[in-house]
Chain A
Amino acid sequence: MKVLKSWLNDWIDVSEISNEDISEALESLGFEIEEQSDLNPNYSNIVIGKVLEIYPHPNADKVRITKTDVGSKTYEIVCGAWNFDVGAVVPVALPNSEIKDGFKIDKRDIRGVESNGMICSASELDLWDDHEGILILDENILPGTDFSSIYASSDYVWDIGITPNRGDCMSYLGIARELSNYFDKKITTKKSKLSPSITNILNTNSGKIKECDTYGSVEIENFKVSDSSFLIRYRLSNVGTRIINNVVDITNYILYDIGQPLHAFDRDKLFNTISVRKAKNNETLTTLDSQKRKLTSEDLVITDGDKPIALAGVMGGLETEVTDNTVNLLIESAYFDKVSIMKTSRKLGLISDASIRFERGIDFNIQKYGLEQFLMTLKESQDIKFSELSINTKNNIKNKKVILKKDEVKKLLGIELKDSFIKKTLKYLMIDAEINKDNIEFTAPSWRYDLDRPVDLIEEFAKHHGFNNFSSNLPQGLHKNEKGNFWKVKEYLSKILISNNFQEIQTLSFVKKEKNTVFNPEKNYVTVFNAIDKSSNYLRSNLMSSLLDTYMFNLQQNNILNSYYEINTVFDTSVDKTYNDVPNQHVVLGFITSANLTTQDIRKSNQNIDIYYVKSLINQLISDTQLEPLIKPGFHQNYSFSIFKNNEIVGHFGQLSTELQNNFEIENDVFLGEIYVDKLNLNELRLINYKPLSQYPFIKFDLSFSVPVEFSAQLIVDEINKLLSKNENEIEIFDDFQHENSRNLGIRIITRSYEKTYDDNETRQILMKISDSLETKFKITLNSGNND
């Protein structure tokens, strides 16, 4: 809400308080300052003029020539607007002045007639948008008066945020009440003196429903639609409200001033008792914006007899609206239920200054005051006749008494508050309270809905004490630097992937259906009921599709060829085992890498990797895993594996199926995998089995075996390790040569005894033992002539 200093000053004397101090006060009371600025329009050389004569321009039809008295002189001024007549009092920008946007006004020849300045509209003076023409001022203002003197020439405006629990602060009165305690200043009371001179011809009541606690109204006769006062237009335009006419402007003005929304009906369009009820399902009402609204039994309507004439608290009806011909009015001032107004306004998308105040809760005891203030304001500019106020209330809303134990205050806030501070705060906030030795028994005023528990009052004390006046203390938990297994596993796996040149990514969780089916056709997917993008309303069941998309996206962006990983949640509809009240979801680490990776050194060609690289990566991430072939959609038939750790599946990896690779138009083989992060235990990821170092020299020999094509080479390595189990060994396959139906495996054995240096004879015996055992066990043949 925008707060004008000059308007605020009506309620609390802030004229002597600096803008900085007011800013600080507003902020410390919980009004977030979104913007603030000086209103310092430069109106030098703009004066009040009185139009003495008007006559046609000899060479132009669309403009007229005026003789205007500007105090010291009478000028001839050419004017293009037609909304005024002789005798009008208007603002005149004299030669050598500036209007909106720094536009310079000087003597000017307009088709052969010299115009000595310009008669201005409200928008030309940067006051408010007005397309009616020239700004017509009060006829009692003397010509020659400096325009600045009738305009609050120096003002200040704050645009503040008001939290949803403080509907009572959505008015100048409300903000003044909050500031009154801060500045230790009383707020102004506005009294009203009214003498009704007509009798009501309509009956009004609050109906039979609890959603309207009070319905107040007054009838007005002898009214004429016109402009509202300059002050009202100035104030409303500066709080961002459109200027319409006196009746609309004044209802808006009262709403901003004291927080009571009002509605004006053309009384001559009403015929029966005016009341409130719930709408019937499918009942219709055409609202002020000419929209035909279909209503439900959740909506409140104002009725004339049984006929709906307005959407209570949200928008008036077109049929009973005030028009230029209206002479008699019925002004409504009511209290409607918060939730009911909120539901209707949100459902219909009609959110107005009034509906927002109703939905946050207006003062339940201010309806009469609202009508009084309306009459007082309208009376100032028009000689109206009005009736007695009709206030029909059920008195169902009451704030209950709450007991706050004094020691609770210190227990929650950590500071001792003086009784004098407590008393002063309660007094200024107009909270009815009795303070005794141990307790504060309080009842919230009629405008507060946020004070119905002891803790609510503690918050009030804390706020008015000033959050920044609290001391600071740093409590600490018992378990320092214990981030927990899940977080540590994430950090551990990330570190390894990053050291292998993987880049982490974060992608959105929503996908198109086919991104799930391509890898998980067997699952049932979770969908978003009210998705933003209806085509991507699926929660992803895997990370691999997102990884592939990112991989492709960066290639298209001419970025280097890279490896990526992401750690995030995947979903399906089965019941979650950890949290049995939500869909199945678990955290997965997904990764992707290409057979052709960019090397860091630009002078070197790209690095070619294959499935073995990915296998070694898995071993780096999780030690002691077993792999088992896995037929998985989207994957290469031979190069797709489940990863087992301690006989539990902890992930899978493989090569993207060549068909998908072709469909995606990816040049190189692509490898993907997923690791189930929440199944891993940090202490088991990297098992350390220290083996002592032998002090004796190594012996080394390379063996070549002729083996069947489908032979698993690891069997040989395992067998040799078994045969040499008493030694320190390094055994590796260094060659795998296949040609048609023959296959040769090269095995390098480096072994050291823990006890002695092997002589030639012993070395030969070891070699014999190994080759004999392998030949017998696996029916393979040692190739001659290449062993040393």
Chain B
Amino acid sequence: MPEVNTEKIFASFLLSIEQVSSVDEFNDLEKEYLGKNSLISEERKKLSSMNETSRKKYGKVLQELSTKINERLNEERLSFQSKFFKEKELNDNKDISINWYKDLGSREHILTSVMNEVVDIFSAIGYTVATGPEAETSWHNFDALNTPDWHPARYESDTLYLDENLEQLLRTQTSTVQVRHMQNNKPPVYIVAPGRVYRSDQLDATHSPVFHQIEGLAVDKNLTFSDLKGTLEYFVQEFFGKDIKTKFIPHFFPFTEPSAEVLVSWKDGEWLEILGCGMVDPNVFEHVGYDKDSQGFAFGVGVERLAMIRYKIDHIKNFYENDLRFLRQF
């Protein structure tokens, strides 16, 4: 029985495989050893002319050889490929230390993002955004908020007026929105009013004629001083983090009583005031036409102050100069 030397074939296959230098050559080898015109295929053709015993025996020998070659071929092909791609990647080696893509600075203004954050914190507990005019009447800005006409805040040195009779002005506080909102809406009220306010100050490191506040107002059945406290503690923790400590110290505002200032513990044990608040003064309810025994609380936060504390910004002027070197840092 003419039989091929399988070991010799396999040895020659191994020899060829060592010399492969591209993925394509594996296909050539496959053709050479397993293809239609390969030695194994030629030998297979001879099987039909053999007796059954020889046929089975020789068929098995050929099958084993072709399986062995095929397996080895796939194995080598995979390992060759993997090595090839690895090398390809190793040769593609850019200097990642270069910043080819520059930051064009396309963001919300830092004051807007702080306002959005505060609005989000309060909208999560059911407060909606309310707005009001920036050019206001003196009545909405002062009288309705229980600030008598002799009060120093009303002096022209502090407030920007629009007429010589001092009847219209640029609002000095977003508390005006409380008044407008209550005049047009019945309780329950849960609102925040972010916006611009104005004072008669030159723009410098610590003062600006324009700045931003967020006013909050809640009027509902049975709201107490404890509710005010819990609400502002919630806000401080959402904004500055759960670990921050707060304290409430008595203060005075014409439109709330009792009134308080909220301080947060900053690094080095320093306490910083971040907002003013209090139970809405009964006179305010009276001015907006609410029932005398209405109850609720109000608070006001300075947006610039929040940003300055959080990011350690030293000049209020930065917010309004709009130098991209500043804006794109946030």
Contacts and interface: CB of A to CB of B under 8 A. Distances in A.
Contacts of A690: none
Interface string B152-171: 10011100111110101010
A165 interface: yes
B230 interface: yes
A554 B327 CA distance: 11
27 contacts: A30-B252, A163-B252, A342-B152, A346-B152, A346-B155, A456-B257, A459-B259, A470-B248, A472-B230, A475-B220, A477-B128, A477-B220, A486-B131, A503-B105, A504-B112, A507-B320, A508-B210, A509-B198, A530-B156, A530-B161, A532-B201, A553-B322, A554-B323, A560-B104, A578-B133, A585-B134, A600-B102
B323 to A, nearest CB: 6
Interface string A474-488: 111111111110110
Interface stretch (A10-18, A192-200, A251-259, A568-576): A568-576
B66 interface: no
B227 A508 contact: no
A527 interface: yes
Interface of B: 99-102, 104-109, 111-112, 116, 119-120, 123-137, 150, 152, 155-157, 160-164, 166, 168, 170, 180, 188, 190, 196, 198, 200-203, 208-210, 218, 220, 222-227, 229-231, 233-234, 247-252, 257-261, 273, 279, 281-282, 295, 319-325, 327-328
Interface string A484-511: 1011000100100010111111111110
A550 B322 contact: yes
Given A475-B218, A508-B209, A532-B160, 13 more contacts: A346-B155, A346-B157, A411-B222, A459-B259, A476-B125, A494-B112, A504-B327, A507-B320, A529-B162, A582-B137, A585-B135, A587-B131, A601-B101
A380 interface: no
Interface string A130-155: 00000000000000000000000000
A602 interface: yes
A458 interface: yes
A339 interface: yes
Interface of A: 27-30, 32, 163-166, 338-339, 342-343, 346, 411-415, 453, 455-456, 458-459, 462-463, 467-468, 470-484, 486-487, 491, 494, 498, 500-510, 526-533, 539, 550, 553-554, 557, 559-560, 562-564, 567-569, 571, 576, 578-579, 581-583, 585, 587, 598, 600-603
Given A504-B109, A553-B323, A554-B323, A477 B101 contact: no
Contact of B234 (A474, A571, A581, A598): A474
Contacts of B201: 532
Contacts of B126: 476-480, 482
Contacts of B229: 467, 470-473
A299 B12 CA distance: 121
Contacts of A598: 102, 104
Q: Which of B281, B321, B328 has the most CB of A within 10 A?
A: B321
Given A415-B226, A503-B105, A530-B156, A165 B129 contact: no
A583 B162 contact: yes
A455 B281 contact: yes
Nearest to A501: B106
B123 A32 contact: no
A603 B94 CA distance: 14
A559 B209 CA distance: 26
A526 B162 CA distance: 7
Contact of B101 (A563, A568, A602): A602
A455 B323 contact: no
A603 B202 CA distance: 43
A480 B125 contact: yes
B102 A463 contact: no
Interface of A is mostly: loop
Contacts of A467: 229, 247-250, 258, 260
Contacts of B100: 601-603
A412 B285 CA distance: 14
A480 B112 CA distance: 21
A456 B109 CA distance: 42
Contacts of B127: 477
Given A411-B295, A477-B190, A568 B196 contact: yes
Given A414-B227, A508-B203, A554-B323, A487 B210 contact: no
B210 to A, nearest CB: 5
Contact of A474 (B112, B119, B125): B125
Contacts of A342: 150, 152
Contact of A503 (B116, B251, B319, B327): B327
Contacts of A414: 224-227
A717 to B, nearest CB: 32
Contacts of A484: 128-130
A663 B124 CA distance: 50
A659 B98 CA distance: 41
A479 B185 CA distance: 15
A241 B319 CA distance: 38
Contact of A494 (B102, B108, B162, B319): B108
A474 B109 contact: no
A583 to B, nearest CB: 5
Contact of A529 (B99, B161, B203): B161
Contact of B162 (A504, A528, A603): A528
Given A413-B224, A467-B248, A505-B109, A562 B104 contact: yes
Contacts of A564: 322
A483 B135 contact: no
A39 B160 CA distance: 43
Nearest to B248: A467
Given A30-B251, A581-B137, A532 B109 contact: no
Nearest to B103: A600
B194 to A, nearest CB: 8
Nearest to B112: A504
A544 to B, nearest CB: 15
A338 B150 CA distance: 10
A775 to B, nearest CB: 46
Contacts of A479: 126, 128, 190
Contacts of B273: 32
A220 B249 CA distance: 46
Given A412-B224, A532-B200, A507 B322 contact: yes
A415 B108 CA distance: 44
Given A164-B152, A510-B209, A27 B105 contact: no
A543 B250 CA distance: 41
B64 to A, nearest CB: 50
A477 B225 contact: no
Contacts of B225: 412-415, 462, 470
Contacts of B325: 557, 559
Contacts of A553: 321-323
A468 B233 CA distance: 11
A346 B325 CA distance: 42
Given A483-B119, A509-B196, A498 B108 contact: yes
A568 B195 CA distance: 9
B310 to A, nearest CB: 17
Given A502-B106, A506-B111, A554-B322, A583 B168 contact: yes
A165 B252 CA distance: 7
Nearest to A166: B252
Contacts of B128: 477, 479, 482-484
Nearest to B194: A487
A602 B137 contact: no
B120 to A, nearest CB: 8
Given A467-B250, A474-B234, A600-B101, A503 B190 contact: no
B231 A474 contact: yes
Q: Which of A28, A456, A472 has the most CB of B within 10 A?
A: A472
Contacts of A462: 225, 250, 258
Contacts of B131: 486, 587
